[in-house]
């Protein structure tokens, strides 16, 4: 439901007042601000805003208004198995779903993979972490990608194109990069985040 012009003005005033003072104005203060003779008129507008979820009733009687807590939206993301942070391993079918905040999701289709190995440790991607991946078939040099090697094994590495060769570089000085002809490597996505449970 839309707001009347006066409701929009009152809501804007309450939001600004709350940002400035750390608490909401009283009904009397709202009435004074808009030169309204009756607090009942303010109460009617405020009740409408509460009914629409734009305001909440606070715990304090004198200053009984509050801005609603922003909803924490989460969306399910498929956890598609494991990815090697080391030697490539076979991809697995989806084993579970994760609920992730919308702010963690990529613009395109997003999926997740559990990391096995320590080849990306210097990028703070550790064994047991879950990487959040934007599904893409292309990558820029330096991006961390999920790559399908020879059509059957999946690995997480930094991507670098060198002519017709693809370098899949670990972030671990003890390990050597995989250098492969481009036809043997298919980018499946770019890592956009890391999820870790302690």
Per-residue pLDDT tens digits for 74-103: 788 888 878 887 665 555 555 688 887 777
pLDDT at residue 64, rounded to an integer: 73
Q: Is 173 among the catalytic positions? A: no
Domain ranges of the chain: 5-66, 74-195
Name the pLDDT band for 53 (thresholds 50, 70, 90).
confident
- DSSP structure class, residue 26: P
Catalytic residue among 38, 44, 103, 157: 157
Which one of 47, 103, 119, 173 is the catalytic residue?
119
Q: How far apart are CA 193 and CA 138, in angstroms?
A: 17
Residue 22 has pLDDT above 60, yes or no: yes
Q: Which CATH number fits domain 74-195: 2.10.109.10, 2.60.40.1840, 3.40.50.970, 3.30.460.90?
A: 2.10.109.10
Question: Stretch 97-112: mean pLDDT, rounded?
Answer: 80
Of 14-18, 61-65, 80-84, give the range with the top mean pLDDT: 14-18
With 80 as the cut, is the pLDDT of residue 127 above it? yes
23: region left, alpha or beta (phi > 0 left; psi from -120 to 50 alpha): beta
Q: Give the integer Cα–Cα distance in Å for 78 and 112.
A: 6
Residue 165 has pLDDT above 90, yes or no: yes
The residue among 108, 88, 77 whose CA lies nearest residue 189 is 108
Can you give the pLDDT at residue 189? 92
**Cβ 156 vs Cβ 190: under 8 Å:** no
Multiple choice CATH, 5-66, 3.40.1010.20, 3.30.420.40, 1.10.10.10, 1.25.40.10: 1.10.10.10
Across the range 187-194, mean pLDDT stands at 91
**Among 44-48, 50-54, 135-139, the least confident range:** 50-54
pLDDT, averaged across the chain: 85
> Is-catalytic flag, 157?
yes
pTM over 0.75: no
Give CA torsion, residues 58, 59, 61, 63, to 10 deg: -40
On the question of pLDDT at 72 being above 70, the answer is: no
The average pLDDT across 25-54 equals: 89
pLDDT recorded at residue 95? 64
């Amino acid at each position: 439901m839309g707001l009347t012009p006066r409701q929009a003005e009152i809501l804007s005033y309450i939001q600004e007042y709350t940002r400035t003072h750390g608490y909401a104005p009283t009904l009397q203060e709202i009435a004074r601000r808009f030169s309204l003779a009756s607090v009942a008129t303010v109460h009617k507008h405020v009740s409408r805003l509460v009914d629409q979820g734009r305001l909440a009733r606070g715990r304090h009687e004198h200053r009984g208004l509050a801005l609603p807590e922003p909803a924490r939206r989460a969306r399910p993301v498929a956890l598609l198995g494991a990815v090697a942070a080391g030697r490539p391993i076979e991809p697995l079918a989806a084993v579970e779903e994760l609920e992730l905040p919308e702010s963690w999701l990529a613009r395109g289709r997003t999926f997740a993979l559990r990391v096995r190995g320590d080849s990306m440790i210097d990028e703070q991607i550790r064994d047991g972490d879950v990487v959040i991946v934007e599904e893409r078939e292309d990558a820029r040099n330096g991006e961390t990608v999920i790559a399908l090697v020879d059509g059957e094994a999946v690995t997480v590495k930094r991507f670098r194109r060198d002519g017709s060769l693809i370098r899949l570089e670990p972030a671990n000085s003890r390990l050597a990069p995989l250098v492969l002809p481009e036809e043997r490597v298919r980018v499946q996505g770019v890592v956009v985040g890391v999820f870790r449970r302690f």
